[in-house]
Protein backbone atom coordinates (compact mmCIF):
# COMPACT_ATOMS: atom_id res chain seq x y z
CA UNK A 1 0.00 0.00 0.00
CA UNK A 2 1.29 3.46 -0.86
CA UNK A 3 1.94 5.69 2.12
CA UNK A 4 0.67 9.26 2.20
CA UNK A 5 0.71 11.91 4.92
CA UNK A 6 -2.82 11.11 6.11
CA UNK A 7 -2.06 7.38 6.51
CA UNK A 8 1.25 8.19 8.16
CA UNK A 9 -0.47 10.43 10.68
CA UNK A 10 -2.95 7.69 11.59
CA UNK A 11 -0.01 5.34 12.09
CA UNK A 12 2.16 7.47 14.40
CA UNK A 13 -0.33 9.89 16.01
CA UNK A 14 -1.13 7.97 19.21
CA UNK A 15 2.48 6.94 19.79
CA UNK A 16 3.68 10.53 19.52
CA UNK A 17 1.00 11.65 21.98
CA UNK A 18 1.98 8.86 24.38
CA UNK A 19 5.59 10.08 24.14
CA UNK A 20 4.46 13.50 25.38
CA UNK A 21 4.40 15.46 22.13
CA UNK A 22 1.74 18.06 21.37
CA UNK A 23 0.33 17.82 17.86
CA UNK A 24 -0.07 20.85 15.59
CA UNK A 25 -1.11 21.08 11.96
CA UNK A 26 1.86 21.51 9.65
CA UNK A 27 0.40 24.13 7.39
CA UNK A 28 3.04 23.62 4.69
CA UNK A 29 1.97 20.02 4.02
CA UNK A 30 -0.68 17.44 4.88
CA UNK A 31 1.28 16.03 7.81
CA UNK A 32 1.42 17.39 11.34
CA UNK A 33 4.23 18.59 13.56
CA UNK A 34 4.79 17.30 17.09
CA UNK A 35 6.31 19.57 19.73
CA UNK A 36 7.78 18.97 23.18
CA UNK A 37 9.37 21.56 25.52
CA UNK A 38 13.05 21.04 26.37
CA UNK A 39 13.77 23.58 29.08
CA UNK A 40 13.15 26.97 27.44
CA UNK A 41 13.54 25.47 23.96
CA UNK A 42 11.20 23.40 21.79
CA UNK A 43 11.91 20.05 20.21
CA UNK A 44 9.79 19.79 17.06
CA UNK A 45 9.44 16.54 15.13
CA UNK A 46 8.44 16.48 11.48
CA UNK A 47 8.02 13.51 9.15
CA UNK A 48 9.23 12.67 5.65
CA UNK A 49 7.96 9.97 3.28
CA UNK A 50 10.57 8.28 1.10
CA UNK A 51 10.63 9.42 -2.53
CA UNK A 52 11.48 5.98 -3.90
CA UNK A 53 9.97 3.46 -1.47
CA UNK A 54 6.18 3.63 -1.30
CA UNK A 55 5.66 2.86 2.38
CA UNK A 56 8.79 4.12 4.15
CA UNK A 57 9.06 7.15 6.41
CA UNK A 58 11.50 8.83 8.73
CA UNK A 59 11.50 11.89 10.95
CA UNK A 60 13.82 14.69 11.96
CA UNK A 61 14.17 16.62 15.19
CA UNK A 62 14.45 20.38 15.20
CA UNK A 63 15.58 22.08 18.42
CA UNK A 64 15.13 25.84 18.61
CA UNK A 65 13.72 28.79 20.51
CA UNK A 66 10.52 28.49 18.48
CA UNK A 67 8.82 25.74 16.47
CA UNK A 68 9.41 26.48 12.79
CA UNK A 69 10.59 22.98 11.85
CA UNK A 70 13.63 22.66 9.57
CA UNK A 71 14.49 26.35 9.54
CA UNK A 72 18.11 25.91 8.44
CA UNK A 73 19.77 28.97 6.95
CA UNK A 74 22.18 31.77 7.78
CA UNK A 75 23.92 31.40 11.14
CA UNK A 76 21.44 28.81 12.46
CA UNK A 77 23.53 25.79 13.61
CA UNK A 78 21.45 23.43 11.49
CA UNK A 79 23.90 20.51 11.57
CA UNK A 80 23.12 20.28 15.28
CA UNK A 81 19.54 21.56 15.49
CA UNK A 82 18.09 19.59 12.54
CA UNK A 83 18.97 15.93 12.94
CA UNK A 84 17.48 12.47 12.42
CA UNK A 85 17.29 9.77 15.13
CA UNK A 86 19.82 7.45 13.48
CA UNK A 87 22.47 10.15 13.65
CA UNK A 88 22.20 10.11 17.44
CA UNK A 89 22.69 6.34 17.85
CA UNK A 90 25.75 4.20 18.14
CA UNK A 91 26.41 1.52 15.55
CA UNK A 92 25.32 -1.14 18.04
CA UNK A 93 22.08 0.71 18.85
CA UNK A 94 21.18 1.08 15.19
CA UNK A 95 21.82 -2.60 14.58
CA UNK A 96 19.61 -3.57 17.53
CA UNK A 97 16.72 -1.17 16.87
CA UNK A 98 16.47 -0.88 13.09
CA UNK A 99 13.99 -2.80 10.96
CA UNK A 100 15.52 -1.25 7.82
CA UNK A 101 17.16 -4.06 5.82
CA UNK A 102 19.79 -1.66 4.49
CA UNK A 103 20.83 -0.71 8.02
CA UNK A 104 20.80 -4.36 9.09
CA UNK A 105 23.33 -5.10 6.36
CA UNK A 106 25.35 -1.98 7.08
CA UNK A 107 24.65 -0.40 10.49
CA UNK A 108 27.10 2.38 9.69
CA UNK A 109 24.23 3.92 7.72
CA UNK A 110 22.74 6.59 10.00
CA UNK A 111 19.75 7.44 7.78
CA UNK A 112 17.19 5.06 9.28
CA UNK A 113 13.73 4.53 7.74
CA UNK A 114 10.67 2.60 8.91
CA UNK A 115 7.91 0.75 7.06
CA UNK A 116 4.33 1.80 7.67
CA UNK A 117 2.78 -1.42 6.27
CA UNK A 118 3.53 -5.11 6.50
CA UNK A 119 3.40 -7.58 3.63
CA UNK A 120 -0.39 -7.87 3.92
CA UNK A 121 -1.04 -4.14 3.76
CA UNK A 122 -1.75 -3.73 7.47
CA UNK A 123 0.01 -1.22 9.68
CA UNK A 124 3.37 -2.71 10.68
CA UNK A 125 3.35 -2.84 14.48
CA UNK A 126 6.90 -4.19 14.71
CA UNK A 127 8.13 -1.23 12.69
CA UNK A 128 6.13 1.18 14.87
CA UNK A 129 7.64 -0.34 18.02
CA UNK A 130 11.11 0.14 16.53
CA UNK A 131 10.33 3.76 15.70
CA UNK A 132 9.03 4.47 19.21
CA UNK A 133 12.13 2.89 20.73
CA UNK A 134 14.33 5.07 18.52
CA UNK A 135 12.53 8.23 19.68
CA UNK A 136 12.78 7.23 23.34
CA UNK A 137 16.48 6.55 22.95
CA UNK A 138 17.46 9.69 21.04
CA UNK A 139 15.12 12.59 21.82
CA UNK A 140 17.05 13.55 24.95
CA UNK A 141 20.34 13.42 23.09
CA UNK A 142 19.48 16.30 20.78
CA UNK A 143 20.02 18.92 23.48
CA UNK A 144 23.04 17.03 24.85
CA UNK A 145 25.15 17.60 21.74
CA UNK A 146 28.28 19.63 22.56
CA UNK A 147 27.75 23.40 22.37
CA UNK A 148 24.29 23.14 20.79
CA UNK A 149 22.55 25.30 23.41
CA UNK A 150 25.25 27.97 23.25
CA UNK A 151 25.11 28.05 19.44
CA UNK A 152 21.31 28.33 19.41
CA UNK A 153 21.42 31.37 21.68
CA UNK A 154 24.36 32.84 19.75
CA UNK A 155 22.44 32.78 16.45
CA UNK A 156 21.33 36.28 15.46
CA UNK A 157 18.70 34.83 13.12
CA UNK A 158 17.15 32.68 15.82
CA UNK A 159 17.14 35.72 18.12
CA UNK A 160 15.30 37.74 15.46
CA UNK A 161 12.78 34.94 14.84
CA UNK A 162 12.21 34.59 18.60
CA UNK A 163 11.56 38.34 18.92
CA UNK A 164 9.26 38.29 15.89
CA UNK A 165 7.25 35.42 17.37
CA UNK A 166 6.95 37.20 20.72
CA UNK A 167 5.86 40.41 18.99
CA UNK A 168 3.24 38.53 17.01
CA UNK A 169 1.91 36.89 20.18
CA UNK A 170 1.56 40.30 21.87
CA UNK A 171 -0.54 41.64 19.00
CA UNK A 172 -2.64 38.47 18.89
CA UNK A 173 -3.42 38.85 22.60
CA UNK A 174 -4.26 42.55 22.37
CA UNK A 175 -6.13 42.15 19.05
CA UNK A 176 -5.08 45.67 18.07
CA UNK A 177 -4.54 45.22 14.34
CA UNK A 178 -3.68 47.62 11.54
CA UNK A 179 -6.23 48.29 8.83
CA UNK A 180 -5.73 47.55 5.13
CA UNK A 181 -3.62 44.46 5.71
CA UNK A 182 -2.23 42.99 2.50
CA UNK A 183 -1.14 39.43 3.25
CA UNK A 184 -4.15 37.82 4.85
CA UNK A 185 -5.74 34.43 4.11
CA UNK A 186 -9.42 34.49 3.25
CA UNK A 187 -10.27 31.93 5.94
CA UNK A 188 -8.76 29.98 8.81
CA UNK A 189 -5.80 27.83 7.78
CA UNK A 190 -6.09 24.38 9.33
CA UNK A 191 -7.99 25.75 12.34
CA UNK A 192 -5.50 28.55 13.03
CA UNK A 193 -7.65 31.66 13.68
CA UNK A 194 -7.31 34.61 11.32
CA UNK A 195 -6.18 36.85 14.18
CA UNK A 196 -2.74 35.22 14.16
CA UNK A 197 -2.14 36.31 10.58
CA UNK A 198 -3.44 39.80 11.37
CA UNK A 199 -1.13 39.93 14.39
CA UNK A 200 1.90 38.85 12.37
CA UNK A 201 1.36 41.40 9.61
CA UNK A 202 0.57 44.17 12.09
CA UNK A 203 3.80 43.41 13.92
CA UNK A 204 5.98 43.36 10.78
CA UNK A 205 4.42 46.54 9.42
CA UNK A 206 4.91 48.34 12.73
CA UNK A 207 8.61 48.86 12.04
CA UNK A 208 9.68 47.08 15.21
CA UNK A 209 11.29 44.20 13.34
CA UNK A 210 14.12 44.39 10.81
CA UNK A 211 12.24 41.75 8.80
CA UNK A 212 10.09 43.10 5.97
CA UNK A 213 6.48 41.99 5.71
CA UNK A 214 5.66 39.55 2.92
CA UNK A 215 3.06 36.84 2.39
CA UNK A 216 5.65 34.16 3.21
CA UNK A 217 6.93 35.86 6.37
CA UNK A 218 3.45 36.66 7.69
CA UNK A 219 2.23 33.11 7.10
CA UNK A 220 5.15 31.30 8.71
CA UNK A 221 5.52 33.60 11.72
CA UNK A 222 1.78 33.35 12.36
CA UNK A 223 2.04 29.55 12.39
CA UNK A 224 5.07 29.65 14.68
CA UNK A 225 3.56 32.19 17.08
CA UNK A 226 0.35 30.18 17.30
CA UNK A 227 2.26 27.03 18.28
CA UNK A 228 4.56 28.77 20.76
CA UNK A 229 1.62 30.51 22.43
CA UNK A 230 -0.20 27.24 22.93
CA UNK A 231 2.91 25.47 24.20
CA UNK A 232 3.43 28.21 26.77
CA UNK A 233 -0.19 27.87 27.84
CA UNK A 234 0.11 24.18 28.77
* 4 phi/psi in degrees, rounded to 5: -130, 175
The confidence score (pLDDT) of residue 28 equals: 63
For residues 57 and 116, the answer to whether their CB atoms sit within 8 Å is yes
| 8 pLDDT more than 80 | yes
Q: Are residues 47 and 66 in the same domain?
A: yes
**Average confidence (pLDDT) over 78-94:** 95
The confidence score (pLDDT) of residue 100 equals: 82
Q: Are residues 99 and 203 in the same domain?
A: no
Q: Are residues 216 and 195 in the same domain?
A: yes
| 29 pLDDT more than 70 | no
Q: Are residues 171 and 64 in the same domain?
A: no
Residues in Cβ contact with 230 at an 8 Å cutoff, skipping those fewer than 6 apart: 22, 24
| 30 pLDDT more than 90 | no
Q: Are residues 123 and 227 in the same domain?
A: no
pLDDT category of residue 105 using cuts at 50, 70 and 90 = confident
Q: Are residues 138 and 163 in the same domain?
A: no
- Domain that residue 117 falls in: 5-146
| 172 pLDDT more than 60 | yes
The confidence score (pLDDT) of residue 31 equals: 64
Q: Are residues 113 and 27 in the same domain?
A: yes
Q: Are residues 162 and 139 in the same domain?
A: no
Final residue belonging to a domain, choices 92, 122, 146: 146
The confidence score (pLDDT) of residue 101 equals: 80
Mean pLDDT of the chain: 93
The confidence score (pLDDT) of residue 10 equals: 95
Q: What's the Cα-to-Cα distance from 29 to each of 26, 66, 173, rounded to whole Å? A: 6, 19, 27
Amino acid sequence: MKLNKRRLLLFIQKSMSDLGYVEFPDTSSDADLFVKPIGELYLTVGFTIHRFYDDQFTCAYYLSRTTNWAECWGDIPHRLTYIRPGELMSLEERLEITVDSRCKKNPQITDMWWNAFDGEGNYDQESLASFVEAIKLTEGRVAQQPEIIEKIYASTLLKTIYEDVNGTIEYAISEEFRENLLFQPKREVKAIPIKWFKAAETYFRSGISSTLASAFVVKHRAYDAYRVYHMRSL
